Structure 1
Amino acid sequence: MRFFSERLKQERVKLGLAASKMAAIGGVSINTQFRYENGERTPRIQYLMAVAVRGVDVFYLLTGRRVLLCADSLDSHEADVLMAYRTMPEEDQAALHRIATACATQMGSD
């Protein structure tokens, strides 16, 4: 679980939390927090649930992949676009990605 421990520390630092504060949020001792971050122990689900509420990306901790949006944060139009994108052939997805990137880049330079 070496990579998990590295990601845990990375998330804590990203949130600007001291190890003692992260430990308190997770309901563990500072020593336990250090053991998690050193890969000596793995946290229980209660810890993960508690730190997730504070903003830790638990999916990232477990998989190494970031979740950019929660499904319930999308409005109906965004959800429709995402569903349409997911059902498109791969080449159409690539074209839509190029268009969206071009539009976003253009907006950023205005």
Structure 2
Amino acid sequence: MQDFFLLPFELDSMGQRLAQERDAAGLSQDAMAMQTGVSRYTQIKYEKPNDDKNHTFPSLEYVNKAHALGLDMYYVLTGKRIPPHK
């Protein structure tokens, strides 16, 4: 039997954290969508609550592009902030 490992994802309010990080970066939904290569509709679906029937989770490509734009994607995915390095 294969061993599994758990990733520390906290998906319950991921869409809300994504919107929070996008706002903090000064990006509109349109700008975020354009810079990450998704449609505005897809960006909106990423930011919906998980219990919304239209919610969807972003791809790893999107996560990497959002991180490159300066969004704290570790926080978006886990709900935890990494303390800054000194």
Q: The TM-score by the shorter chain falls in which range?
A: 0.7 to 0.9
Question: What is the count of residue pairs matched by the alignment?
Answer: 71
How large is the RMSD of aligned CA atoms in angstroms?
1.4
Which ranges of structure 1 fall in alignment gaps of 5 or more residues?
A: 79-110
**Aligned letter for 1:54?**
L
Aligned pairs for 1:11-30 (under 5 A) are 11-30=21-40
TM-score normalised by structure 2 residue count: 0.76
2:4 matched residue in structure 1: none
2:14 matched residue in structure 1: 4
- Runs of 4+ in structure 1 over 3 Å off: none
Q: Partners in 2 of 1:55 and 1:42 — Cα distance?
A: 19
Which ranges of structure 2 fall in alignment gaps of 5 or more residues?
A: 1-10, 50-54
**Aligned letter for 1:67?**
I
1:44 matched residue in structure 2: 59
TM-score normalised by structure 1 residue count: 0.60
Deviation at 1:38, TM superposition (A): 0.7
Tell whether 2:37 aligns with 1:34: no
Deviation at 1:26, TM superposition (A): 1.4
Q: Partners in 2 of 1:48 and 1:13 — Cα distance?
A: 16
- The question of whether the paired residues in 2 share the 8 Å contact of 1:19 and 1:33 is answered with yes
Kindly indicate whether structure 1 or structure 2 has the higher relative contact order, using CA contacts under 8 Å at least 6 residues apart.
2
Q: If each structure's helix is expressed as a fraction of its own residues, which one has the higher value?
A: 1
Identical aligned pairs, as a percentage?
A: 35
1:103 matched residue in structure 2: none
